[in-house]
Amino acid sequence: MNDHTQNADTSVEADTIVRSRLVTRTRDTAVARNAILHTFHVRGLDVTGSSGFSFEETLTGTPLLALESTSSTGTIRGEVDATSAVIVVWLKSGHAVVGGQQLPIGRPVLYAGRQQVQWDRFQKDVMRIDQAIVEHVAAERGGWEPGPLEFKPNHVPEGAPLAAWWLMVRTIASEILATTGEVSLDRERELAAMAAEGLLTAIPHWPVGRRSEQPPESNVGKAEAFMLDNIATPITVDDVAAAAGMSVRGLQSAFQRVHQTSPLGYLRAVRLLMARQQLESGQAASVTAVAHAVGIVHLGRFSGAYREAFGESPGETLRAANKQST
């Protein structure tokens, strides 16, 4: 009986993985330095700050997928080694230079290999995805054998691919940040694969040595590309299925598995996020113009769906952006 219990416990352990959360809040640069070294491989790390220095970092995740949020009033510099992980960073405020490139605020940028970085009085978020999972998903999408990837250097996504990235972040972050402790290993792999899908949609890539981007070969990849390329055009699920070479039922099933939503649900969500990007830019002429630009026809439904997604009306977002820009 005891042997049976031990075997059952081993089975449970094999089916789970521990999602941890580590929070560091400090005014001590040495403590901040140790926290960064726990999170990243950094050579020559230097953390400096004035008498009012503060640092806060929250790291939540597993070895397969992790999210990190960091803010500091100081300056952090060094050489980040991202050769054994896929790491994406986006600046929320402040100033940052990565690999000689000044980071734009609110755009995901991939750490590539070993890069010199400098962060000044900043807020940033980071996503870390298991490298093997990214390579496997890329191989499925591209129709090649899994292996090391190259990404387009210094690529900053915009438009529909950027909106697709933020849709992925919103989807997985709500689950990752809600639960710590033992979680399903299969589910964590699903979330990491979903993160990889969002990354690969946003940043052009190819197998090492090929040196050229190719259109996706997988059915889901073809469907995504068709929708993102035709974001401003009224399209139906039949149109998407035809572009992907699938039946409607097969398409619905594949999107539920990969994105946990229907193809048109994915399209609607991307359009909403694109609309928000344009409304927040401070350059939008009107809510109606923005809606039409992203393929939204029914303005009444748009307003309700927008409020449900973002907690405010499109007009409120536009007014706030216009106020900031004046």
Q: What is the DSSP string of 34-51?
A: HHHHHHS-EEEEEEE--T
Residue 90, domain extent: 22-130
Q: Where are the alpha helices (DSSP H) in the chain?
A: 2-14, 29-39, 131-142, 159-176, 185-202, 219-229, 237-244, 248-259, 263-280, 287-293, 299-310, 314-325
Whether the per-residue pLDDT at 207 is higher than 60: the answer is yes
Dihedral sign (CA 288, 294, 300, 306): negative
Q: What is the pLDDT of residues 95-144, one digit of tens each?
A: 999 988 899 999 999 998 899 999 999 999 999 999 999 999 999 998 89
- Is residue 105 included in any domain, yes or no? yes
35 is a domain residue: yes
Q: Write out the E strands in 65-157.
A: 65-81, 86-98, 101-102, 109-110, 114-129, 149-151
Is residue 173 a contact partner of residue 19, using CB atoms and an 8 Å limit?
A: no
DSSP, collapsed to helix, strand or coil, labels residue 75 as strand
In this prediction, residues 24-35 reach a mean pLDDT of 96
DSSP 154: T
310 within domain boundaries: no
Residues 6+ apart with CB under 8 A from 280: 317, 321
Q: Which backbone phi and psi does 198 adopt, to 5 degrees?
A: -65, -40
CA-based nearest residue to 131, from 200, 70, 186: 200
Measure the CA–CA gap between 31 and 129, rounded to whole angstroms: 26
Kindly indicate the confidence band of residue 186, based on its pLDDT and cuts at 50, 70 and 90. Answer: very high
Q: How far apart are CA 200 and CA 214, in angstroms?
A: 12
Is 89 inside a domain boundary? Answer: yes
pLDDT in tens, 266-322: 999 999 999 999 999 888 889 999 999 999 988 888 999 999 999 999 999 999 988
pTM of the model: 0.88
CA–CA dist 270, 162 (Å, integer): 9
User: Which position has the token pair 């580590």?
Assistant: 22
285 part of a folded domain: no
First to last CA, the chain: 74
Give domain status of residue 199, yes or no: no
Least confident of 69-78, 97-106, 191-200: 97-106
Domain tally for the chain?
1
> Residue 58: enclosing H or E segment and its boundaries?
strand 55-61
CATH label of the domain that carries residue 67: 2.60.120.10
pLDDT band at 188 (very low <50, low <70, confident <90, very high): very high
Do 10 and 57 contact (CB within 8 A), yes or no?
no
Q: Are strands 16-26 and 149-151 parallel, antiparallel or unpaired?
A: unpaired
| Residue 179, domain member (yes or no) | no
In a domain, residue 82? The reply is yes
